Structure 1
Amino acid sequence: MMLDFGKLDAYIAGVALKRISQVECEERYSNQHELNGVKEMRKLFGTTKKIYPTRFMRLEDDEEKSGESYGDMTWYDAREAHPTRTEYRFYYQKNVAIERAGPEDVLGIILKKDGHVLFVTAPKGSQAEAELFELFGSALGASFSVVDFEEKGTTLTFAKRMILEALGIESVAQDAKDYLGFIEKKLGSLSFPNTKTFSGLAREAFGDTRGLSADERLIYWWNTEETMFKQLENVEIESRLKTGFHDVDDFLTFSQFVRQRRSSRAGSALENHLSEIFETEGVMHSRGKKTEGNKKPDFIFPSIEKYHEAGFPMERLAMLGVKTTCKDRWRQVLAEADKIPLKHLFTLQPKISSNQLDEMSGANVRLVIPSELQESYCCDIKRKMLSLEDFLLYVKHL
């Protein structure tokens, strides 16, 4: 059963998007830290002065160049004292999102349902921009265009959920089971096992997969494990909050641990479920074995032994790198498995720019993306990638 994550308006009330002008991002032209609103923004932000807690985010394809900071933004009428005129503006503090932005970059002011705001910028033509367009649309100009999601009723697809996660907004399945009893029964406690065990529990909890394609199984297992993980994590966090923290450093250390575990678990879970699919499909493979030096591709087909066997035909070898999101990190697969010129890369990246896809194609990298995620791409781009079912046929043919 596919979990129902509802509509986008369960998490976001609306968004205002525009292209950044030179005067808004370069201090030599202006340091007022203000953005002019448009009439349509009043429905989202009201007509009275209000201060919004804000998370400022700079999104880059090179994740090391991304950044975030926290502060406030003030929505107010600069002509409040005038008897007939109004001029609504946002005043914001100095922040990483605008400091790293350039003219024509995309800017989004996202009003969350909890009343907090995300102030997001991304480079023009980047994957990060493409993701924002997938979530919010791409009709941009010098003035804000406004989308009210309570009116639009946008369904929260898997692709949109992945983008929300990148923005720090966690989606929750409306019809998710309570898995805590199942976990405690199987493990004897409500504590995290190793990632392989947890992935196996998720597959067992999901149940019968007869009649499902490999792409469907992968997505269903991923959704189930993610839901189970969040439920178990909530138990741990609530327990720690009751215990309390010694000081700020103790709190920050725990927060960093939670974030790092989420990231590492996601990658391991994806590999665990892919390995299970290869096993059940009778596809010979080796996982995490050395090819040259300390290089360890995620998967080698048919085996690492055949890879190192003298005289084994190179054209019968294949490799698969696995990354939940690739962005600029896709280049890492280029240095893996020297004998195999064509690199395959499996990812759950919900949107990839045309420029990035062209660069991948030029580097002889072919993407493997679940069929459900491919729905967010146009036909011309989809022809350049494989579904998981396609990839299984490819390695079986070898």
Structure 2
Amino acid sequence: MSKQTEFTFDQPTTDADLLRSLLKRADKVLIKKLSNNDRNWARKKLDAEGNPVPGGKTMNNQAGPYIPAETRKSDFFLPLQLLERTDGKSDEIWHREISTVWPQNEGERRTSNLRWYTSKNTETHLTGLPKSVFKDLLPASFFIMGRLTGNDGYIYECLTIDSGSEEVQLLATLFDIRADFVAGMFEPATVQAEERERVLDFADQVIAAWLAGTIEDFEANSASMPKTLELAQMAQAAFLKTHGLEKIDPFALDSPGDVLREISRSIEWELFKEFQRRERSVQLVRAVLGDKPRKFTPSDMMRALLDEFPRIDTILLSAAQQRKSRAGYSYEHHIEAMLTGGSIPFQKQVIIEAKKRPDFILPSLKFMNSGTDKASTGLILSAKTTLRERWKQVEREMGGHRRLFLTTVDENIAGNAIEDMASFGVHLVIPESLKESKLSEYKGYSNVLGFGEFCEINVRPNLASWNK
């Protein structure tokens, strides 16, 4: 068990602060990507006009998120106890009361309840939770339970991380969470140790270069971040090698949208993290120690750290910004590779009107404006890794008569936003696995297509006329 823990939330803190604090104190952490049902129990049911139904009814009766069966079977919780039934039914119910604390809800403490109905499913209901920290979450948000030891045994500190927040990127970085992640248990100390080992493996090379007086050349040759296009091509090459393919042809793939997601959100993400780890490590060494080898006393080292703190802070902030800015341009490169792989004609970043420069026009602006019978088959394809409110910028590219398709690998788009897009004639093109996923809200909307559907319905029938 971990050491005794006191809980105080007197000062306002950000979700990032709360997350870092929890990871320092918890011996084990459960992280779960919330399904729609895991959120809807806290959301009010609406009528046809979008107003809350009288009586405060919620969208389902689940009363809290499910806890994975693997977690129930592990030692994360104390063993569940058999509940004595008085209703005459024979199906077993196992339960355990647990103490939970909610720093995002003013540090509220609750007695929550784990309950496993053996007749229903293998997962366990977690009830007795504050609705306030769940009700406004976007799809595919995260629930985190950190196990700590208090005066009366285990206490579980709980957080929610909205999938549209900046903190979700921090969570993904800290725990190496990939796009297909659903749930997992972690030991923060082990995760930190593994990251430290990855850094130390590279540190020997950095130290050797610094002692040799060649660290500047070492950074240029071995620790510089590739340009966005180069990194995208590296990810594509890795995918092709793994699957024994020569090109990324959407017509030859079962689920081309899922392939786009795998390349951009998994393969390239891993490459990016390794390059960034190397790049920032060398930058920090050069900032503190300089480029020329010399002897340092402990006093010298302390003074160098203090003197260069603003520069160190800038390097770390730059790393966070770099993670945000690279994704959009990278996704465009993967779309381009897929269009090229399928021999689909296109123009990229063409100015169609003042301040209107869509990512792709299929097959070309000249064809779309030709006035022929086939001109209407042309379309605009915009690529956004994350949408939020940015889809409204894309809507302006339609120009009143052009067909607009918006492709994304973002799983956190709320249903009302999808409806808004439909009202403007915007079609969403997404990974196939997200269309029916219980983690997203794409299911059931006529303006949502898998990438394969998009290619078969809107591209393949027109290739002959486009290629003329």
Question: Which TM bucket (shorter chain)?
Answer: 0.5 to 0.7
- Tell me, in whole angstroms, the C-alpha distance in 1 between the residues paired with 2:409 and 2:348: 19
**Which residue of the partner structure matches residue 395 of structure 2?**
334
Q: How many residues align?
A: 279
**Which residue of the partner structure matches residue 236 of structure 1?**
279
**Which residue of the partner structure matches residue 132 of structure 2?**
none
Which of 42, 60, 71 is the equivalent residue of 1:151? 71
- Tell me, in whole angstroms, the C-alpha distance in 1 between the residues paired with 2:271 and 2:6: 38
Q: Displacement of 1:111 after TM fit?
A: 8.4
Q: Displacement of 1:336 after TM fit?
A: 1.1
Q: Displacement of 1:333 after TM fit?
A: 0.7
Code of the aligned partner of 1:397: P
Residues 1:93 and 2:93 are matched in the alignment: no
**Which residue of the partner structure matches residue 395 of structure 1?**
459
Q: Displacement of 1:347 after TM fit?
A: 1.3
- Tell me, in whole angstroms, the C-alpha distance in 2 between the residues paired with 1:209 and 1:337: 39
Describe the shift of the 1:166–1:289 C-alpha distance in structure 2 as closer, same or farther (beyond 3 A). farther
Q: Displacement of 1:216 after TM fit?
A: 3.4
- Tell me, in whole angstroms, the C-alpha distance in 2 between the residues paired with 1:254 and 1:308: 48
Q: Displacement of 1:266 after TM fit?
A: 0.7
**Which residue of the partner structure matches residue 270 of structure 2?**
227
Which of 176, 185, 194 is the equivalent residue of 1:172? 176
Residues 1:294 and 2:355 are matched in the alignment: yes
Q: Displacement of 1:109 after TM fit?
A: 8.6
- Tell me, in whole angstroms, the C-alpha distance in 2 between the residues paired with 1:111 and 1:385: 40
Alpha carbons 2:287, 2:311 under 8 Å: kept = no
Q: Displacement of 1:134 after TM fit?
A: 4.8
Q: Displacement of 1:239 after TM fit?
A: 1.9
Alpha carbons 1:297, 1:337 under 8 Å: kept = no
Describe the shift of the 1:147–1:379 C-alpha distance in structure 2 as closer, same or farther (beyond 3 A). closer
Which of 362, 379, 382 is the equivalent residue of 1:321? 382
- Tell me, in whole angstroms, the C-alpha distance in 1 between the residues paired with 2:383 and 2:166: 19
Residues 1:193 and 2:226 are matched in the alignment: yes
Q: Displacement of 1:306 after TM fit?
A: 2.0
**Which residue of the partner structure matches residue 30 of structure 1?**
none
Alpha carbons 1:291, 1:337 under 8 Å: kept = no
Describe the shift of the 1:239–1:309 C-alpha distance in structure 2 as closer, same or farther (beyond 3 A). same
Mean CA deviation greater in 189-198 or 385-394: 189-198
Where does structure 2 lack aligned partners over 5 or more consecutive residues? 27-32, 44-55, 57-62, 75-122, 124-138, 143-161, 179-197, 203-219, 246-251, 289-306, 463-468
- Tell me, in whole angstroms, the C-alpha distance in 2 between the residues paired with 1:307 and 1:111: 55
Which of 21, 25, 29 is the equivalent residue of 1:115? 25
TM (normalized to structure 1)?
Answer: 0.59
Structure number with larger C-alpha Rg: 2
SS of residue matched to 1:193: coil
SS of residue matched to 2:171: coil
Mean CA deviation greater in 159-168 or 255-264: 159-168
Q: Displacement of 1:348 after TM fit?
A: 1.7
Describe the shift of the 1:173–1:166 C-alpha distance in structure 2 as closer, same or farther (beyond 3 A). closer
Mean CA deviation greater in 371-380 or 223-232: 371-380
**Which residue of the partner structure matches residue 80 of structure 1?**
none
Residues 1:204 and 2:268 are matched in the alignment: no
Alpha carbons 1:306, 1:312 under 8 Å: kept = no
- Tell me, in whole angstroms, the C-alpha distance in 1 between the residues paired with 2:3 and 2:177: 34
SS of residue matched to 2:376: helix
Code of the aligned partner of 2:342: E
Which of 50, 71, 85 is the equivalent residue of 2:6? 50
Q: Which has the higher contact order (CA 8 A, sep 6+)?
A: 1
- Tell me, in whole angstroms, the C-alpha distance in 1 between the residues paired with 2:13 and 2:37: 23
Residues 1:254 and 2:315 are matched in the alignment: yes
Alpha carbons 1:314, 1:339 under 8 Å: kept = no
Q: Deviations over 1:229-272 (max 9, x none)?
A: 10111111222233346544323432332233222211111111
Mean CA deviation greater in 272-281 or 379-388: 379-388
- Tell me, in whole angstroms, the C-alpha distance in 2 between the residues paired with 1:293 and 1:312: 26
Mean CA deviation greater in 289-298 or 212-221: 212-221
- Tell me, in whole angstroms, the C-alpha distance in 1 between the residues paired with 2:279 and 2:417: 39
Mean CA deviation greater in 337-346 or 322-331: 337-346
- Tell me, in whole angstroms, the C-alpha distance in 2 between the residues paired with 1:217 and 1:379: 18
RMSD (CA atoms) = 4.1
Describe the shift of the 1:263–1:96 C-alpha distance in structure 2 as closer, same or farther (beyond 3 A). closer
SS of residue matched to 1:336: helix
Code of the aligned partner of 1:94: P
Describe the shift of the 1:146–1:273 C-alpha distance in structure 2 as closer, same or farther (beyond 3 A). closer
Describe the shift of the 1:209–1:364 C-alpha distance in structure 2 as closer, same or farther (beyond 3 A). farther
Describe the shift of the 1:379–1:198 C-alpha distance in structure 2 as closer, same or farther (beyond 3 A). closer
- Tell me, in whole angstroms, the C-alpha distance in 2 between the residues paired with 1:357 and 1:113: 35
- Tell me, in whole angstroms, the C-alpha distance in 2 between the residues paired with 1:339 and 1:147: 45
- Tell me, in whole angstroms, the C-alpha distance in 2 between the residues paired with 1:372 and 1:159: 13
Q: Deviations over 1:357-385 (max 9, x none)?
A: 11111111111110122223468535431
Alpha carbons 2:383, 2:407 under 8 Å: kept = yes
Q: Displacement of 1:305 after TM fit?
A: 3.0
- Tell me, in whole angstroms, the C-alpha distance in 2 between the residues paired with 1:366 and 1:190: 41
Residues 1:357 and 2:277 are matched in the alignment: no
Alpha carbons 1:325, 1:347 under 8 Å: kept = yes
Residues 1:373 and 2:429 are matched in the alignment: no
Code of the aligned partner of 2:232: S
SS of residue matched to 1:381: coil
Alpha carbons 1:319, 1:340 under 8 Å: kept = no
Code of the aligned partner of 1:384: N
Code of the aligned partner of 2:6: K
Q: Displacement of 1:395 after TM fit?
A: 2.2
- Tell me, in whole angstroms, the C-alpha distance in 1 between the residues paired with 2:326 and 2:415: 29
Where does structure 1 lack aligned partners over 5 or more consecutive residues? 1-42, 52-73, 75-90, 98-107, 117-130, 182-186
Alpha carbons 2:348, 2:359 under 8 Å: kept = yes
SS of residue matched to 2:222: coil
